[in-house]
Amino acid sequence: MNSSWLVVIVTSAAAFALKFVGHLIPESVLAKPRIERITNMIPIVLLSALIAMQTLTEKTKLVIDHRLAGLSFAIVAVIAKLPFPLVVIGAMATSAIVYRFG
């Protein structure tokens, strides 16, 4: 068997086991306010980390380029409560303009 397939199978089994163990946790533990706050923040933190990694890195280097301008526009647009399509289009346009003329 190819080693890539072995990695895929082991990773899949680990993900399944982790999800299965999550279902075994009693509801009384998950209903505690502190645990609820933590579990509600996990997706936000993971998505923020993914965005930061995709925006500020290239391979193994820290890079500040047009992507940061687009992200900055998106952050300001979200704070200003613009509709989501305008946030995406504005961030895309900002990134493109900085890429072209920056």
Structure tokens at 76: 């300001």
Q: What pLDDT is recorded for position 1? A: 66
Q: What pLDDT is recorded for position 2? A: 79
Q: What pLDDT is recorded for position 30? A: 86
Q: What pLDDT is recorded for position 22? A: 86
pTM value is: 0.66
- For 36-83, how does the pLDDT look when each residue is reduced to its tens digit (9 = 90+)? 999 999 999 999 999 999 999 998 899 999 999 999 999 999 999 999
What would the DSSP string read from start to end of 33-80? HHHHHHHHHHHHHHHHHHHHHHHHEETTEE--SHHHHHHHHHHHHHHT
Q: What pLDDT is recorded for position 102? A: 81
